[in-house]
Amino acid sequence: MNWDLLSQLLMNGLIIGCLYGVVGMCFVLIYKSTQIVNFAQGEFLLIGAWVCWWFLTTWELPFIVGFLFTLGFMTVFGILLQMIVLRPMIGEPIISVIMVTIGLSLFFQASLKWIFGVNVQPFPKVFDQETVMFFGMQIQTAYVMSLVISLAIMIGFAWFFKTSKHGLAMRATAFDQQVAQSLGISVKHVFAMAWAISAVVSAVAGVVIGIVNGVSDTLAFIGIKVFPAVILGGLDSIIGAIVGGIIIGLLENFAEYADGQWFQVGNMYTIAPFYVLVIILMIKPYGLFGTKDIERV
Amino acid sequence: MAGYNMMRCGEFRTTYEKDTTIFPTPMSKKFAILGVILCFIAPLHIGEFSFLSDFAVTLMIQIGYMSIAALGLNILVGFTGQISLGHAAFFGFGAFASAWMNNEFGIPVFFAIPLAGILTMAVGIMFGMPAARIKGLYLAIATLASQFILEDFFARADWFTGGSAGSLANSMEIFGYVVTGDRQYYYVVLFYMIVMFILAANLMRSRDGRAFVAVRDHYLSAEVMGIRLTWYRVLSFGISSLFAGIGGALFAHYLEYVSVESFNLLLSIQFIGMIIIGGLGSVMGSLLGTIFMVLLPEVMQGGAGLIASTEWGNIPAITEGVNYMKEMVIGLSIVLFLIFEPDGLAHRWRMTKAYWKLYPFSY
């Protein structure tokens, strides 16, 4: 056993798992409030990362300013996307809704490749110090930042949904749209808000991963990796998304370790979560925290 | 969706046979036969003269094998109401299976193609097992996982696929006669296409086909009526994989080389795009959607070529970006069709027919 490598990998798993959790939360947010499964979640990360990169390199803005501009852009983007594309889809069968988001993801991915190219572009240097030591392990500063940001986002979500007026309105809409509407909540605004928040928070995750690994279209794959996480946690549970994200993050790094040490089959890092996904769907389709869908005739 | 036809005033159907017939009127039968005959003579070339260029023949072959696979997906999605995001993986499995059986066991290609279809059917049933318990969105995600698992299997199973080098497939051979060239292979594809389309059209008139539609429309009522839900859900996965496998096998022996990378998620999405654009739950729609999906990139390529040839249009962004533009337009056309014409081209086709039937008086 190689304990150093294992602990290093598990630490990475925890950090990337937190990011999966954050993206999963955005995914669950959209699913819960608008009943739409967003297959274009990964493209939100990609768009956020590319836009931020563009602000930082072409316009040479300082990081904080560029980052805030990106968040503003993503807010507008999320609202417009909901208004133009997703609003006509309300009440359509589930396959249509899924396919619209898949079509969107194809469209965004191709257009981003066209605009920004297919090569990995490194972010300009954000931190002076590349790595920090933590209990004898070397961790990239950006990873520490991502952990802090993820935790901050999670706490922010908790505060938003527990206490703020808009958060309560969103929870009411998720619970029952008609009742919420009759209590004077504008369901339209709630939907737009859900997409905007989801786009913004995903973009934050995209920028963080972009700083560590550079920006390229592989970032969009996170949007697919998030499925095992949210299914494991339960599709309509925000806590579940976080727990599921962390478990999947740890699992894929552990799979890589086990693969490197014993099995030597390769590519386990990418594929292990999908095996887990199939097994969960067979045994416990509603996940750890999801509400069980009981059908009555 | 399927199920309703525009019937002419005064046209009454009094028996079940009349209602479930493939060709509602004698005229439509004549048109179908005429279409098949046209397909038969299209690639002929007599001396110097030929109806279609070589390029058009390759496009028609492409439409042929793609439409068989799309038809399979339409049986699964359009008729049974299950969602599959892993169709390309089954298409690929059929391609590899046919090449493998031919190379490894020396089974002639003529038999290897249907056998590959049956093998793919078995795999499809295996991956369709989750459908027994889950449906809708969860099923979509499960099939997405099966897409990645099978793709990973292709990359790893050297004995089966040749790994990253890909595998070579022999050309078609019918009892000693070797099919050479695209114009001859065209007839092989056409033969399979006609057989598979007749099979699918007849399947939908049978008890099993009606059971599929019942499962789609209201699965609880279907179960109450005595339809075995699990069996039909898994069976429709099997049948759809059978079609995909045969389409894939035809693809393999056409290109004579199968590479591991060609069966990715994008192809799966394209298959779903085909049936959505063509029309869910319509046999004819599968063909129309495939034609649309195959011709669209070619039209765009041609358009980009035209723009680039003009004096002001020779911008690198257009000439180099045309590949991305193709993907963009595929995504965009799926979105636009779902918003503006959710019933697809098949519906538009019916409307056009109904319009001309009554021309010039609209009632």
Closest CA to A207 of A12, A66, A45, A59: A45
- Asked if B313 reaches chain A (Cβ–Cβ under 8 Å), the answer is no
B278 inside domain: yes
Strand B177-178 to A137-140 pairing: unpaired
The parts of chain A modelled with pLDDT lower than 50 are none
Tell me the ipTM for this assembly.
0.86
* pLDDT score of A122: 85
- When pLDDT is averaged across residues B291-299 and rounded to a whole number, the result is 91
Is the distance from CB of B116 to CB of B245 less than 8 angstroms? yes
Number of H helices, E strands in chain A: 11, 2
Cβ count within 10 A of residue B10: 5
How far is B7 from chain A, CA to nearest CA, in Å?
A: 27
3-state secondary structure of A272: helix
Match 């913004």 to its residue by tokens: A200
Contact A98 B138 (CB under 8 A): no
B273 inside domain: yes
B328 inside domain: yes
- When pLDDT is averaged across residues B101-108 and rounded to a whole number, the result is 88
- At B138, give phi and psi (nearest 5°): -65, -40
How far is B153 from chain A, CA to nearest CA, in Å?
A: 10
Q: Is the pLDDT of residue B84 over 60?
A: yes
B40 inside domain: no
Domains contained in chain B, number: 1
B210 inside domain: yes
Query: A24-38, B101-115, B266-280, B302-316: lowest mean pLDDT where?
Result: B302-316
The domain limits of chain A are 17-219
B128 inside domain: yes
Which one of B83, B328, B336 makes the best mutation probe of the A interface by having the most chain A beta carbons within 10 Å?
A: B328
- When pLDDT is averaged across residues B7-19 and rounded to a whole number, the result is 72
Q: Is the pLDDT of residue B317 over 70?
A: no
- When pLDDT is averaged across residues B190-204 and rounded to a whole number, the result is 92
Q: How far apart are CA A165 and CA B217, in angstroms?
A: 40
Supply the range of the domain harboring residue B168: 53-357
For residue A149, give the amino acid letter: I
B46 inside domain: no
* pLDDT score of B160: 86
Q: Is the pLDDT of residue B173 over 80?
A: no
* pLDDT score of B1: 37
Q: Is the pLDDT of residue B90 over 90?
A: yes
Contacting B residues, span 258-277, partner chain A, CB-CB under 8 Å: 266, 269, 272-273, 276
**Average predicted confidence (pLDDT) for chain B:** 86
Contact A281 B130 (CB under 8 A): yes
- Asked if A235 reaches chain B (Cβ–Cβ under 8 Å), the answer is yes
Q: Is the pLDDT of residue B2 over 90?
A: no
Q: Structure pTM? A: 0.89
User: A282: which chain B residues are within 8 Å (Cβ-Cβ)?
Assistant: 129-130, 133
- Asked if B133 reaches chain A (Cβ–Cβ under 8 Å), the answer is yes
| B155, B324, B339: residue with CB nearest A111 | B324
Cβ count within 10 A of residue A293: 11
Q: Is the pLDDT of residue B313 over 70?
A: no
Which position has the higher pLDDT, B5 or B172? B172
* pLDDT score of B3: 44
User: A110: which chain B residues are within 8 Å (Cβ-Cβ)?
Assistant: 324-328, 331
* pLDDT score of B5: 54
Residue B206 maps to which CATH number? 1.10.3470
HEC readout, chain B:
CCCCCCCCCCCCCCCHHHHHCCCCCHHHHHHHHHHHHHHHHCCCEECCEECCCHHHHHHHHHHHHHHHHHHHHHHHHHHCCCCCCCHHHHHHHHHHHHHHHHHHHCCCHHHHHHHHHHHHHHHHHHHHHHHHCCCHHHHHHHHHHHHHHHHHHHHHCHHHHCHHHCEECCCCEECCEECCHHHHHHHHHHHHHHHHHHHHHHHCCCHHHHHHHHHHHCHHHHHHCCCCHHHHHHHHHHHHHHHHHHHHHHHHHHHCEECHHHCCHHHHHHHHHHHHHHCCCCHHHHHHHHHHHHHHHHHHHHHHHHHHHCCCCCCHHHHHHHHHHHHHHHHHHHHHHHHHCCCHHHHHHHHHHHHHHCCCCCC
